[in-house]
Structure formats: structure tokens, C-alpha cells
Structure 1
């Protein structure tokens, strides 16, 4: 068991992401006390009952007093409001990070809300998740072998970035670094667009007059393709709007690909269709091999 490295961690939002962070830190012996803050008192009470948190935060000054680390695990649209509520009570030794799926907007919100204290904010994004929500969704090994991307600011001190990285490593994560702009372009393509497509496909079928019949025969392929449409609509609304420019660019590119495939199909051009399918199959196989090599489980803690 590790000697605790964090005396007090405050988490805004103790569902899947924030709750799993708390569970993992506790399991690693890397934190003494976890304070949870959220909009739903029922969720806070459940997190306390499950042992995810030790204290439900009420008074902001008291909750932040002596905190080593604050994690924002709420929808990205709430970032500015939460940071503004933190700012007056943020002590010099407290580092703030987040788990938002977009970064440029989060950085802008942090600069506006924290002003002279923005150096204490280290942006982050754990690349892990499920389509379930709430404290009951939190699991201890969500981050084992998964990537966490940090997008440090020029103002950040190296030791503060290291503190955030150490907390994620205690959860079993593998750390990567990107700029906020690089992050948003990358995840527009490989995360935000797939979610948009899954939501759109399920909504399209649900609105057909024979939707019941269609869903009756939908099997594993449809289930796998649309799994992420079970994710939080509020969270993904916020992500889509926050990363609008990059997501629009990726959507336009995808629509062009669909238009090309439609033209091949209309022309009965089986060779062209097969070439697209084969290229995609090869790329996916290479990707699977790469992540299976890179994302090995973290070594057990002694």
C-alpha cells in the first residue's frame, strides 16, 4: 500500500468519472480524505453511502480548506461557474484540474474565472468511460491502463503538473501531453464525432413509423455501434457545443465520405466500395494491435 500522497481531495461531480477517481485513489492508499460536491443531494448521499467520498461539501471555504487537489468532473459547460465559486477560496497550495472532454473552452473559462490564480489550474482529460452515470457507476479500476491527457498551461509550475500526473498514475493511468488545441482536434475526430453519429442513428430509427419492428431485429452489430448513444445527453450536448469548430470540420469530412460511398453504391461500383471497406478494416486492425500493445495493465502496487 502506498503512503498517502494527498491529504485532501475535493471532487465536483462524483459519478462515473469523479467517483472512479476517488475509488482508485482510496484503493491505492493515495488520499486521506475525499470531499464530494454536486448538484444532487441524493447523489451526494449515495456517494457517501458507497464510501466513494468521506464528506459531503457544503460551505465552499470549508470544503477547500487544506485541499491538495480539486477535480472538476462535472459537464464542461459548468466549468466556468464552478471555477468562479472556487476562486475566492483557492489557497496557494491547492491545485485544480478537470476531466473535461474539451480543453480550449475549459482553458478560456479558467483564465476568466481564476485570473491571477490560473497557474494553479492544470487541464486534463481521462480517456476512459462508460455509458452509465451516477455514483453507482463508479468503479475502482476504470483508469487502469487507460490514457489521461494533460494539456498544461504556460503558467503552470512543473511540480504542480507532476502532482496531477501522480494522482492519475496512482489510479493506474498512462499519462500523455497535448496542447489544448491539439487535444480538441484529435478528440473531435475519434470521440466527439462517433458520439454524434451514434446519437443521430438511434434517433433516426426511433422516429421511423416502424421503429418497434426495427429495434426488434437490431442485434449485436447495432448494439455495439450505438453503445455510446446511452451516454449522458447533457454532457454530450455540452461537449458538442464546446468543440463546435473542430466537430463541424470532422462532420463535414465524414459527410463527404458518405457522399462518396453513396455515389459508389448508386453506381453499383462494388470494387470501389470494397476498397473503402478493406482500407477501413486494415486501419482498424492496426489500431487494435497498437492499443493492445500500449495499454497493458499497470503493475500491482506493493
Structure 2
């Protein structure tokens, strides 16, 4: 039982965490802390939190578990505001989409108390934002990646893992370095591409006509461009090196594809399309089969 949960940033991610733990019956009291008074008032109105705190001191009083659900660029300042009031029993975790920068910021702020911070990343979300987007079932059947630190006691890691399991999540473990390399390819690059495509079309002189005829394919491909620009700015900059590597590889693929198209090489185009179709089908089948967490070797 979590006696006091503190959620910093009660939007889609933080709000859904609180609602899921409530639905599982494993939390007694949820305190919310955030920078937007209207959003916090709405979270209270919706029953996501029991209390809206005016200060870190008020929020951290008696806290068992603290979730940082704010843009990763805010990690250092938020932790600095919490540190003077961090009690011995309190565990802090986060939901950031990058981990190396988050760990670096946490080490710089928490120092010898870094063992109380267990980094994490739930692999679930939506293009919607704010407390109204939160839902208890968001994490059900979805992965949560933990990137434990050498200073984390196993019991503390298990307490964070058990909270995510109570939300219905499947726990995976990666090193921060492996995490950021993986998600540069399968999450951060797709967001970059979706934003770039919509921005490109919006800048054309006949954008109104183009959007008028855009249908489900365009909507599905660009759905994630509706996500928080602030959050994805921070993620892109935080994982810049890995993201640049993936972007360069994608640019090379586009260059090859352009040459294939310019040469009217139908067989070459079909080969790329068929390989992509096969890989996507296998990926979907693996998801539907509920494949167990693979064993990963941590790398530096």
C-alpha cells in the first residue's frame, strides 16, 4: 500500500498513474504538484488527486512514492526543489522518455541520496495532454522500462516496479544508454518525422487545399504531431546524439529510395515495401502474443 503518492505534473502520464493505482486499490492519498493552477484544480475536480499542494515542502511531507511526470528538461530544477524535503522513506521515480540526461541531472542534484531515485519510462501515451486526457487503463498491458542505478537497493527498485505492475504494466529493464539508443529509433525519430511533415505541408502556399484532402493515412501517420511541443523539444535535445545517428540513417534510406523511384525501379520499390510490411506484421503479431520481457545485457 502506498500511503502517500506525490505526482508532479498531473497530466496524461501522471494523472493516469494516479488513476490506475486508485483503481487497483493500492494508494490511500494522492497529492498533486504542478505549475499550472487551472490544470491542478481540474485534477482535483476529476478526483485524480486528493490534494493540490502549494509547495514542495507540503507535497513531500510523508511521501512514500513520488512520480516526476514533467518534461525531461525540468528534471534538475524539480529535484532541486524537492531535495530539502526528501524524507528517508521516500522513493522518487520519473516517466521521462530519455534516461541518460535524467540520470545525469539526478546525480548532480541528489548527490549521495541518488539511491532514492529509480529512473523509469512507461511506454504508453497519447497525443492528448492535461488532466482530462488521463485514464486508469492507459498502462494496461503496456511496457514500463526501468533503468536502475548501481546505488538503488533492489527492494526500492521492486517497490517502483510493483507500483507499475499494479497499473497493469509489464516491467522491462535496460541500462540508460541502451534505453536512449532504442527509443531514438522507435519513438523519437518517428515524432521528429511527423512534426516535420505537418510543418512542411502547413508552410506550403496551398496548405488549406492539402489539408482539405488529407484523410486517414495522413491522420494516422501524423497523429503524434499533436503531442506536447515542449516535451518533445526537451526529448530531442536530451537524446540529440542518438537521434542524429538515427536521422542520418533515415536520410540515407530516403536517398536510396529517391534514386530507386527516379530510376522507375518498380521491383526495388516493391522489395522495400514488402520488407517493411513483413517486419511490421511480425511486430504486430509479437505485441498481440504478449511476448515476455527479453533478457538484456547492460552496456556502457
Normalized against structure 2, the TM-score is what?
0.96
> Which consecutive residues of structure 2, in runs of 5 or more, have no partner in the other structure?
293-300
Q: CA deviation at 1:294?
A: 1.0
CA apart distance, 1:247: 0.2
Look up the match of 1:237: 233
Alignment partner of 1:264 out of 260, 263, 267 = 260
Rounded to whole Å, the distance in 2 between the matches of 1:230 and 1:81 is 26
- The Cα shift of 1:57 comes to 1.2
What does residue 64 of structure 1 align with? Answer: 60
Q: Counterpart of 1:219?
A: 215
Q: For the Cα contact (< 8 Å) 2:33–2:55, is it kept in 1?
A: no
Q: Does 2:75 align with 1:53? A: no
2:81 equivalent in structure 1: 85
Alignment check: 8 A CA contact 2:66 2:91 kept: yes
Q: Deviations over 1:235-257 (max 9, x none)?
A: 00010000000000000000000
Q: Distance in 2 between matches of 1:230 and 1:64?
A: 33
User: Does the residue aligned with 2:219 lie in a helix, a strand or coil?
Assistant: helix
Residue 289 of structure 2 aligns to a residue in which SS? helix
Partners of 1:290 and 1:117 in 2: CA distance: 39
Q: CA deviation at 1:295?
A: 6.8
Number of the residue aligned with 1:248: 244
Equivalent runs, 1:111-260 vs 2, <5 Å: 111-260=107-256
Which segments of structure 1 move beyond 4 Å, counting only runs of 4 or more?
Answer: none
What is the alpha-carbon distance in structure 1 between the residues aligned to residue 288 and residue 186 of structure 2?
A: 17
Q: 1:8 aligns with which of 4, 8, 11?
A: 4
Q: Is the Cα–Cα contact under 8 Å of residues 144 and 173 in structure 1 kept in the other structure? A: yes
Distance in structure 2 (CA, Å) of the matches to 1:127 and 1:222: 23
Q: Which blocks of at least 5 consecutive residues in structure 1 are unaligned?
A: 297-302
| Equivalent residues, number | 292
Distance 1:232 1:239 in 2: 11
Aligned to 1:299: none
Aligned residue among 282, 288, 291 for 1:292 = 288
Equivalent of residue 91 in structure 2, options 84, 91, 95: 95
Which residue of structure 2 aligns with residue 281 of structure 1? Answer: 277
**8 Å CA contact 2:143, 2:171 repeated in 1:** yes
**Aligned CA-pair RMSD:** 0.9
Contact 1:145–1:295 (8 Å) recurs in 2: no
User: How much does 1:60 deviate?
Assistant: 1.9
